[in-house]
Amino acid sequence: METIRLGQNGPAVTPLCIGTWAWGDKLFWNYGSDYDVNQLREAFKAALEAGTTFFDTAEIYGFGQSEEFLAQFLQQTTQPVQIATKFAPFPWRFTGQSVSDALTDSLKRLQLQKVPLYQVHWPFTFLLSQETLMNTLADEVQRGRIEAVGVSNYSAEQMREAHELLARRGVHLAVNQVRYSLITRQIETNGILDTAKELGVTILAYSPLAQGLLSGKYSADNTETPTGARRIDPRFSKDGLRKLEPVLSLLRQIGAKRDHTPAQVALNWLIAQGNVIPIAGAKTAAQVKQNAGALGWKLSEDEFTQLDLATRS
């Protein structure tokens, strides 16, 4: 399996990451209703079988349960697996010690001595200064409990500040995890993508299928009814889906030519950029296999350009 390095000198990981927000989460994903730990275990196994060994989690996913599930599944394999997790800068965390304590708790839940990637979940840190936060993360790199440091949802300016603070300690900022897909391309115009390239920071793209809009599952003509948050998202309305139809049609067209699904084409478009790793959420083995179909092939320059032009705002 081809690998990509996180940042300038971070760990090498697979070019597709499995997102585990839904693992144990009941608030947004209804864990325990139409899927449970058995489906998640099979999804984990399917990922390893497909050679996709990079997983993204966070301490707030399922209030720690996502990390605990990963620990449980890790005990059942000898295959090397790369885990990324995240620190939540809650208002009551305003000291360096609170950052270290949160990392300790995540490591306990994961049953690991260190994590390949530790990320700050959002940039607003209340009373915790970025200087204290980044210095503590640099300390943890030196202690050996973190291999690489990342941020999430940071603007270009915030990413540059984090990079500079870490660089003073001899640590490179490895990633910025942001929303990015064929139809969510703000990072190309707000400076995030250009700054990431300049600084050697890898982009981890969450919601790479735009909550399923690019999967081909929804269209203005079918009877599939959006559920949950999608129900109030105007993009999933009949009008929204009609506007998106030219893009979906192109994804289907390219997919049919290459014997791949629209979702696999959309994920491959991100992977083809070289410094972007999509995080594709999965709750079942079938979803993992579907996502893994984005690997092992590459869009032609012409196909990439067609998709690029069709989705530029």
Domain count for the chain, please give it. Answer: 1
In this structure, what DSSP letter does residue 301 have?
A: H
Range with the poorest average pLDDT among 14-23, 135-144, 152-161, 304-313: 304-313
Range with the poorest average pLDDT among 60-64, 187-191, 240-244, 295-299: 240-244
Q: Is 61 a catalytic residue?
A: yes
| Residue 19 resides in a domain | yes
Q: Are the C-beta atoms of residues 57 and 12 closer than 8 Å to each other?
A: no
* Average pLDDT value over all residues in the chain: 94
Supply 189's token pair: 């115009």
The proportion of the chain whose per-residue pLDDT surpasses 90, expressed as a percent, equals: 86
Distance from C-alpha of 41 to C-alpha of 68, rounded to nearest angstrom: 12
| Residue 22 resides in a domain | yes
Q: Are the C-beta atoms of residues 226 and 211 closer than 8 Å to each other?
A: no
| Residue 81 resides in a domain | yes
Residues 6+ apart with CB under 8 A from 68: 24, 109, 110
Coil, strand, or helix at residue 120? strand
Q: What is the mean pLDDT of residues 277-286?
A: 96
Q: Give pLDDT, residue 231.
A: 56
Q: Are the C-beta atoms of residues 101 and 132 closer than 8 Å to each other?
A: no
pLDDT band per the 50, 70, 90 thresholds, residue 4: very high
Q: Is the pLDDT of residue 216 over 90?
A: no
Q: Are the C-beta atoms of residues 176 and 192 closer than 8 Å to each other?
A: yes
| Residue 41 resides in a domain | yes
Q: Give pLDDT, residue 222.
A: 64
Q: Please state the pTM of the whole predicted model.
A: 0.95
Q: Is the pLDDT of residue 312 over 90?
A: no
**Angle at which helices 96-110 and 130-143 pack, to 10 degrees?**
50
**127 CB neighbour count, 10 Å cutoff:** 11
**Vertex 80 angle, CA 76 and 82, to 5°:** 105
| Residue 6 resides in a domain | no
| Residue 2 resides in a domain | no
Q: In terms of residue numbers, what domain contains 166?
A: 11-215+261-300
pLDDT band per the 50, 70, 90 thresholds, residue 142: very high
Q: What is the mean pLDDT of residues 38-67?
A: 97
How far is the CA of 274 from the CAs of 15, 255, 287, 288, 310, in angstroms? 9, 20, 24, 21, 20
**Vertex 59 angle, CA 58 and 61, to 5°:** 65
Candidates 61, 154, 180, 206; catalytic one:
61
pLDDT band per the 50, 70, 90 thresholds, residue 234: low
Q: Give pLDDT, residue 48.
A: 97
Distance from C-alpha of 120 to C-alpha of 133, rounded to nearest angstrom: 9
pLDDT band per the 50, 70, 90 thresholds, residue 239: confident
The proportion of the chain whose per-residue pLDDT surpasses 70, expressed as a percent, equals: 93
| Residue 228 resides in a domain | no
Q: Is the pLDDT of residue 190 over 80?
A: yes
Residues 6+ apart with CB under 8 A from 40: 23, 69, 73, 283
pLDDT band per the 50, 70, 90 thresholds, residue 28: confident
Q: What is the mean pLDDT of residues 175-180?
A: 98
What CATH code is carried by the domain that includes residue 105? 3.20.20.100
**Vertex 98 angle, CA 97 and 101, to 5°:** 85
Distance from C-alpha of 213 to C-alpha of 116, rounded to nearest angstrom: 31
Q: Give pLDDT, residue 242.
A: 84
| Residue 252 resides in a domain | no
Q: Is the pLDDT of residue 220 over 90?
A: no
Q: What is the mean pLDDT of residues 137-144?
A: 98
Q: Give pLDDT, residue 225.
A: 63
Range with the poorest average pLDDT among 88-92, 107-111, 210-214, 255-259: 210-214
